[in-house]
Amino acid sequence: MNLLLISNSTNAGEPYLQYPIKTIGTFLSGIKEVVFIPYAAVTFSYAEYEAKVQARFNEIGIKVRSIHRSKDARKMIREAEAICVGGGNTFALTKKMQEQGLMQAILRKIKQGTPYVGWSAGSNVCCPTICTTNDMPIVEPQSFKAIGAVKFQINPHYLDANPEGHAGETREQRILEYIEANPRRWVVGLREGCMLHLHDGTMDLIGSRPMRIFKKGVAIHEVNPGDDLSFLL
């Protein structure tokens, strides 16, 4: 499999998809067109989302075709050169993907080597489940099951602390609850500005910040770009 799983689309103060676009361009080298899944969009249309991504992908010379325009979504996946799944609300994304049978279709396709790029919610749905998303369940999917291309869970936009004066749970506390209930599952806290590249049976952390690692019975620790991540595979 060849996966690029990105924590966030946009760094604070930057234009949309500015920081990862060069990496995406290198990752998709030789690709002329991607199938884009816009179903995480909630407060704007799928067509607007397609146009927003296309505006950035113009810089790397790649055509973006949104799957919402197809009458046969699974056929579109089967014929895709590459697949991109955008961020937004993970529950809305999951519900629509499940309704169209896209979880299984994408897993079959990427197991054949088709490149997959996901950011935020698009990274969440590559995991076994969407249980470590940060999003509000605004709609009810058939289940929490996702594509399952990787064996671990991702918490994108990972934050180390709550804002001053906020008495709610920290992100770490919420993940500790998850691993208590799911003791066999690894969870990675992927900080903003970072991404994971899985290729040729190996995985690399890309970015300038470490990634936080959680598993029941294992001391919480951090890994840095260049560290061995084979334990997650």
Secondary structure of 44-101 in HEC code, one letter for each residue: CCHHHHHHHHHHHHHHHCCEEEEHHHCCCHHHHHHCCCCEEECCCCHHHHHHHHHHCC
Cα(7)–Cα(155) distance, integer angstroms: 8
Cα(93)–Cα(114) distance, integer angstroms: 21
What's the pLDDT score for residue 70?
A: 95
Which amino acid, 157? H
Active site includes 230? no
70, 157, 197, 199: which is the annotated catalytic residue?
A: 157
120, 166, 200, 230: which is the annotated catalytic residue?
A: 120
What's the pLDDT score for residue 169?
A: 86
What's the pLDDT score for residue 97?
A: 98
37 DSSP β-pair partners: 85
Cα(177)–Cα(216) distance, integer angstroms: 10
Report residue 7: phi and psi, to 5°. -65, -45
135, 160, 199, 221: which is the annotated catalytic residue?
A: 135
Q: How far is CA 39 from CA 65, 87, 88, 104, 112, in A?
A: 13, 9, 8, 16, 24
Question: Do 4 and 126 touch, CB atoms closer than 8 A?
Answer: no
Question: What string of pLDDT tens digits covers the 233 residues of the chain?
Answer: 999 999 999 999 999 999 999 999 999 999 999 999 999 999 999 999 999 999 999 999 999 999 999 999 999 999 999 999 999 999 999 999 999 999 999 999 999 999 999 999 999 999 999 999 999 999 999 999 999 999 999 999 999 877 778 778 899 999 999 999 999 999 999 999 999 999 989 999 999 999 999 999 999 999 999 999 999 99
H or E element, residue 154: strand 153-156
Active site includes 208? no
* pTM for the predicted model, two decimal places: 0.96
Residue 94's nearest CA partner among 58, 65, 131, 66 is 131
Domains of the chain (ranges, CATH numbers): 2-232 (3.40.50.880)
Active site includes 120? yes
